[in-house]
Amino acid sequence: MKIQPFFIRSTIFNLCFYFLTAIICLTLLPTLFFPRKVLLAVVKIFAHNTAFLEKYILGLTYEVRGKEHLPKEGSYIVAAKHQSAYETFKLHILFDDPAIVLKKELLKIPLWGKYLEKSDVIAIDRSTPKIAIKSVKDGAKRIAKQGRAIVIFPQGTRVCPETTTQNRPYKIGVVRMQEATGLPIIPMALNTGLFHPKNTWCQKPGHVIFEFLPPIAPSDDASSVLNRIEMAVEEKTSKLIEEGKKSIPRKSKYSKALGIAALLLFAIYTINWFIAADIAKKAVMDSINELQQNPNITNHKISEPKIHGFPWKLKLSMGKQLIETSYGNMSIKSINAQSWPVMGMPIDIKIKEIALSSKHWKSSLVFDAIDSQLVFKNNVMTLAYARLMKDQTQGTLSGDVKFDAPYPEIDLIVKLINVTPMIENMVQNKMLPRQIAMFALAALKSLEKDGVVSSTLTSDKNKLYLGPIKIIEL
């Protein structure tokens, strides 16, 4: 399989560019209801950010020559070569507020057409040659009154550097605009097609050059004006292309090997990602099946896990869970876990709205969330943190749990903040006898320092201890 030159950096750029474009499209939406200058400000931000990505990802820079040929003020016509999409992204950098000549059909593109219309372009109605010329003239007169630059591509479409004017001749529309307005025409040559070819995925690093040429004044001979534009632009464009070729870095003899290695690594990563996803889903499903077979469970509504996130972190999501037993019930609003599918990477788990109830309690005990990060290595789970939140009460756990049969070895540090309201709530709802609650509060207060209760949670076979106090026997 042949890999195109500069494939990797082009892929990174294209993904970044599409992401930036999506953000800008959303940002532009409210500007449809604001003055036009607000939309233009966002478009300029887009143009400059695109140039930033091109420079630092593609290694593609640009230079502008011949600015002295541009009028200091007022309107003028720019007859530009059009080789790629690259120059269209630079028009709002090259000019303050350009009016671009384009086909009317582009205004029908959903949403994007509205942005074009708001930017006040010159849209050509090409239903007949006569109507097309009239729309060009009328548009040019309107923009000339505004004192804005008019940008037109005389060949009417993008052309490859090797395409000749015999295949794509210059059209008379640019001269008709000059006849209608009396404005000077500034030819603009460029070499963008060398670096940003038409209809390709890959771009090349190098140095783009835009060059403005001496203005062409109005004349009674339309054909003469068009020929002068064509000769000036084509001759200079050929020279700029030759100059641009020298700026393209030579392809490293290792680039093909690096490309193949990158593709191989991505293939291995992809296989690993989906294997890890399958293992994770199977592990959860096995746990669910085991839980469903528990004779103490009288009813359950457990949703299956959904795996997503490729090619980034592996994400596992589960919806509402409900487990009912003869002693009480537990419900969970949602469970979300994510991790890179690499052994030893931390796993982030967030459980929302956990509700515990018992037939002996007045109401349920509801926790807002459990937020945790853990790492599994061999048979040891290391908790970087696990935060349990209920209203103003917060508890955190950190440390290790070693899973050895028949009982796990627990060695955790517990920190509690503002635990009194939760214990009082548990007493009011008959979850905890008042006498035990008072004893527990007194014990916790003795461990409190700077508003934080800190203790250890350890195990000894089937006994669990909070500090020196045995709290449960498994």
Query: In this structure, are residues 119 and 36 in contact, taking their beta carbons and an 8 Å threshold?
Result: yes
Top-confidence residue, 413 or 343: 413
DSSP 8-state symbol, 56: I
- In the chain, % of residues over pLDDT 90: 53
In whole angstroms, what is the distance from residue 408 CA to residue 229 CA?
84
Q: Once rounded to an integer, what is the mean pLDDT over residues 103-118? A: 89
Residue 440 exposed, middle or buried by CB count within 10 Å (0-12, 13-18, 19+) = middle
- In the chain, % of residues over pLDDT 70: 96
Please report the beta strands in 251-364, taking only residues with DSSP state E, as ranges in sequence order.
297-302, 306-308, 314-318, 321-325, 328-339, 347-358
Split at pLDDT 50, 70, 90, the class of 467 is confident
pLDDT tens digits, one per residue of 416-434:
888 888 888 888 877 778 8
pLDDT tens digits, one per residue of 250-290:
765 556 666 677 788 888 889 999 999 999 899 889 888 88
CATH hierarchy code of domain 61-249: 3.40.1130.10
Q: In what order do the strands lie in the sheet with 185-190?
A: 60-65, 206-212, 185-190, 76-80, 149-152, 99-103, 122-124
Q: CA dihedral in degrees (223, 227, 229, 234; nearest 10)? A: 150
pLDDT of residue 306: 93
pLDDT tens digits, one per residue of 361-390:
888 888 889 999 999 887 888 999 889 888
Split at pLDDT 50, 70, 90, the class of 474 is low
Q: Once rounded to an integer, what is the mean pLDDT over residues 131-149? A: 94
Residue with the two structure tokens 């992204």: 89
pLDDT of residue 356: 86
* Integer CA distances (angstroms), 354 to 330, 331, 365, in order: 7, 6, 8
pTM of the entire predicted model:
0.56
DSSP 8-state symbol, 362: S
* Integer CA distances (angstroms), 145 to 75, 95, 153, 180, 215, in order: 8, 17, 21, 12, 20
Top-confidence residue, 461 or 149: 149
For the record, the structure tokens of 113 come out as 């057409």
Q: Report whether pLDDT(342) > 80.
A: yes
The domain ranges of the chain are 61-249, 252-335, 346-474
In whole angstroms, what is the distance from residue 423 CA to residue 434 CA?
9
pLDDT of residue 1: 46
| 3-class SS of residue 284 | helix
pLDDT of residue 188: 98
